[in-house]
Amino acid sequence: MQRIVIVGGGAGGLALATQLGKHLGKKGLAEITLVDAARTHVWKPLLHQLAAGSFDTHAEEIEYLAQARWNHFKFRLGRLEGLDRASKTLQLAASHDEAGREITPAQELGYDTLVIAVGSQTNDFGTLGAAEHTIKLDSPQAAKRFNDRLINACIRAQTVPRVAGSGRLTVAIVGGGATGVELAAELHASARVLANYGFDHIHPEKDLQIVLVEAAPRLLAQLPERLSESALRELRKLAIEVHTNEKVVEVTEGSLKMASGKVISSSLTVWAAGVKAGDFLKTLGGDQPLETNRLNQLVVNGNLQSTHDASIFAFGDCAACQQPDGTWVPPRAQAAYQQAMYLVKALPRLQRGEPVSPFVFRDQGSLVSLSEYSSVGSLMGSLTKGSFFIEGQLAKVMYWALHKQHQLALGGWKKTALITLSEMIDRTYRPRIKLH
């Protein structure tokens, strides 16, 4: 029986394991194993809400063990540490609890086909002080850590006299991409809710100052300019301070220093600019490393196979895949999902030695959520002549639909309907924000 091992339980990796389990694992045609260093999955586009405390992690987290049981694949807890291509084995690091006690020992895991979908991490470009003084919003653990610091800072801010012209609590966000823009709006909305739960001195305009810094000439630089302009207009309505064309050159405990000489004070700093794949991918394979680019991404061909080993595949943010037209697949959630669905069909055919057409990314457009205030987006990007721009309630509904599509891929119609009903009931009695 073919052993297919998938490393990385993000949106793409978990969807691939789920669908392969249904199509191959259930029929006994292959043994599917998912490996991840965490025990639960959170949809990455929701990290800004998790950081602001505006969604319930217990309702959103998917238990890998339960998902595996329901969908005919296996789950192995562990972090990828090494790869022996000759013997086709993975080395998984030992896992430990918060007290440092060992949960699982170091392990070896054999494979016939290996799929690497470990995602990406925030790239601080080596900026002085960024590693020590910022929180990088690239994992559920980081988002929860930011939320803890945010609540503590709000409590602390109530005891600090207000300084004229400045908020008592300043949150600086480095990076004006989708994550930074969405977090800024979500924090403003959360401050309004916090004021109703005892933080009566945390007013979103008077006591909480949100500063967004972007090195490019405009926000959302990778998206259509009209979308960028609409997002900027909405943020300014919320009195969020936006600085474009400002490159951060140093981060200290209480400030950001720009190349222009400008200095911005900050009580709490989030780094949400730039992405790269994990550094460990550069040396994965030891004496027989796989090909990587300057962002540590694994270079793959049109079938998502690594250039140095046809039995190893990679997709999502950790892979560099060139399109037939010479462009590269962008590091976006929709690309990872499309690649996962491609591999569901392609892997069995490749294993049988059948020809497979190369993967082609179909840009469905982009959506950016501005919390409860609005959403903006461009739909059907490469499928129409130009983008169809949407904003307001329609964009909010479309953003919600993207989340439901992810839930459908993992749980099917029945489970997604029950989750949606549960979400509606939860809103009637749960606090609108996490308070601890």
Are 298 and 116 in contact by the 8 Å Cβ rule? The answer is yes
Numbered ranges of CATH 3.50.50.60 in the chain: 2-120+277-351
CATH architecture of 130-275+368-429: 3-Layer(bba) Sandwich (3.50)
Looking at residue 82, its amino acid is: G
3-state per-residue secondary structure call for the chain: CEEEEEECCCHHHHHHHHHHHHHHHCCCCEEEEEEECCCEECCHHHHHHHHHCCCCHHHHCEEHHHHHHHHCCEEEECEEEEEECCCCEEEEECEECCCCCEEECCEEEECCEEEECCCCEECCCCCECHHHHCEECCCHHHHHHHHHHHHHHHHHHCCCCCCCCCCCEEEEEECCCHHHHHHHHHHHHHHHHHHHHCCCCCCCCCCEEEEEECCCCCCCCCCCHHHHHHHHHHHHHCCCEEECCCCEEEECCCEEEECCCCEEECCEEEECCCEECCHHHHHCCCCCCCCECCCCCEEECCCCEECCEEEEEECHHHEEEECCCCCECCCCHHHHHHHHHHHHHHHHHHHCCCCCCCCCCCCCEEEEEECCCEEEEEECHHHCCCCEEEECHHHHHHHHHHHHHHHHHHHHHHHHHHHHHHHHHHHHHCCCCCCC
Instruction: Please give the pLDDT value at position 321.
Output: 97
Residues 6 or more apart whose CB falls under 8 angstroms from that of 146 comprise: 51, 135, 137, 268, 270
Numbered ranges of CATH 3.50.50.100 in the chain: 130-275+368-429
Neighbours of 384 (CB within 10 A): 11
Instruction: Please give the pLDDT value at position 435.
Output: 37
Instruction: Please give the pLDDT value at position 32.
Output: 98
May I ask the CATH class of domain 2-120+277-351? alpha beta
Neighbours of 200 (CB within 10 A): 11
Question: Strands 113-116 and 2-7: what pairing?
Answer: parallel
As averages over each run of 10 residues, the pLDDT of the chain (436 residues) reads: 95 94 94 95 81 68 91 95 95 88 92 96 93 90 86 73 64 92 86 62 67 94 84 89 96 95 93 92 90 96 96 97 92 90 96 92 77 61 49 62 70 72 58 41
Rg (CA), the chain: 22
Instruction: Please give the pLDDT value at position 383.
Output: 37
With b meaning 16 or more CB within 10 Å and e meaning fewer, what string describes 275-286?
bbbbeebbebbe
